[in-house]
Structure formats: structure tokens, C-alpha cells
Amino acid sequence: MSKAQELFDIYDEQMNHLGTATRGETHAKGYWHRSFQCWIWTETADGPHVLFQKRHPDKDTHPELLDISCAGHLSAGEDVEDGVRELAEELGVTIQFEELIACGTFPVDKHLSNGVIDREFCHVYLYCSDQPLADYQLQEDEVTGLYRMPLQDMRRMIEGTDAGEAWTLSGVTREPDGRLAQRKIVVKAEDFVPHPKAYYEFVLHAIDTYRQPV
């Protein structure tokens, strides 16, 4: 079954269940649907660092941009607890749902340049992990790299006080043979998926609330 034919549960604006629709129909008609999103951060002696994944160049939306550590749509019939499969599929992280920190649900309504109307109820979670980047297992057709960004730099990026500001991130990139190679990249705000500022602020507030500094 192609991705466009994958079935989603669809909802009205009050999150009342309306039925099911294919991914293609959902994004064409702008039906509300649900997604699982997990932000992974690491506590270090230099402060907290947030993990960003680099999206695959063949993705139909926001290819090659830096995005949420792990995220994916919930298929029809799935509960939010089933979202942990995304961590296993995209990053090779196998954990119990109870290990995640629930942040709440954030509605996002986006109209993309390719005609996609993406209306999501985003179920947002946090996970603190000191796992070395080289130990992650990246899903070949989804993720091409992982990079850590200091929380203070992420905050500056979201505030956008200096549009030309750049940051150097350390991470790993997936080589053609599947090996993860260490890499440093220089990025600007336009290298990140343009989630609403309010969404990023929601995530920052959650990390500030739940983190336990080293």
C-alpha cells in the first residue's frame, strides 16, 4: 500500500471523530488528524542539547530540513501510545510509552506550497537520553542525519532576533553504505522546518519545565 493510501482517523476542530480517510484525501481536503511527536534532549556539562533529525531529500514536505527528533502520523485505529513505534522505526529507539513525558496536544493548521492542507492534532512528548549519536539506527527512507543543538541556540533561532545568525551543529550523517559518519554543519533559521513560532515556544516551555540540569 502506498503512503497516499494509508488510512487516518479524521476529526472536526473539537477533536470529535468523524471517520477515516486516506492520507492523500486527508491532506487534499484538510481533514484534522493526529500525529505523535517526540523531542529528545540531552543534558550535558555545557547545558541541554536538543536533537534534530534531517529529513530525507525524497520527502514530499520539507525535504532536507531539520525537524522534530521523531514524528509521524497515527494510522486509523491507533492510540497515541502506539506512537512509540515511530521512535523504533525512525531512530532504532525501543522504549516504553511510560518513559515519555507528556506535554499535551498542540493543534497546527498549515497550508503548504505543494497544495497540502495539513491540519494536525500534535501529541507532543519529551524524552531525555544520553545515547551517543552513533548508536542511533536511522530509517533509510526517512532520516539522513541527526544533529544536536544547544537549547539556548534553539531559543535564539525561534526568537529570530538576528535573521542572518548561523549556528554550528555537531551530529552524524548517514553514508550510502548505511554507516553513520560524524559531521559538523552550519545552519540558519531557514534550514529548519517552519513550524509555527507558538509551537516551538510550547516545546521550549515544556523542556524548561521538565528538565533536570546536570
For residue 197 the three cell numbers come to 513560532
Which range marks the domain in which residue 145 is found?
3-210
One DSSP character per residue, the chain reads --GGG-EEEEE-TT--EEEEEEHHHHHHHT-EEEEEEEEEEEEETTEEEEEEEEEPTT-SSSTT-EE-SEEEEPPTT--GGGGHHHHHHHH-----GGGSEEEEEEEEEEE-TTS-EEEEEEEEEEEE----GGG----TTTEEEEEEEEHHHHHHHHHTS-TT--EEEEEEEE-TTS-EEEEEEEE-GGGB----HHHHHHHHHHHHHH----
pLDDT level of residue 2 (50, 70, 90 thresholds)? low
Has residue 214 got a pLDDT over 90? Answer: no
CATH of the domain at 71: 3.90.79.10
The model's pLDDT over 47-70, given as tens digits with 9 standing for 90+, comes to: 999 999 999 999 878 899 999 999
Convert the pLDDT of each residue in 92-146 to its tens digit.
Answer: 999 999 999 999 999 999 988 788 899 999 999 999 999 999 999 999 999 999 9
Q: What distance in Å separates the CA atoms of residue 76 and residue 140, rounded to the nearest whole number? A: 24
Q: Is the pLDDT of residue 28 over 90?
A: yes
Query: Roughly what angle, to the nearest 10 degrees, separates helices 151-159 and 197-210?
Result: 150
If one counts the domains in the chain, the total is 1
Q: Please state the length of the chain.
A: 214
Give the pTM: 0.94
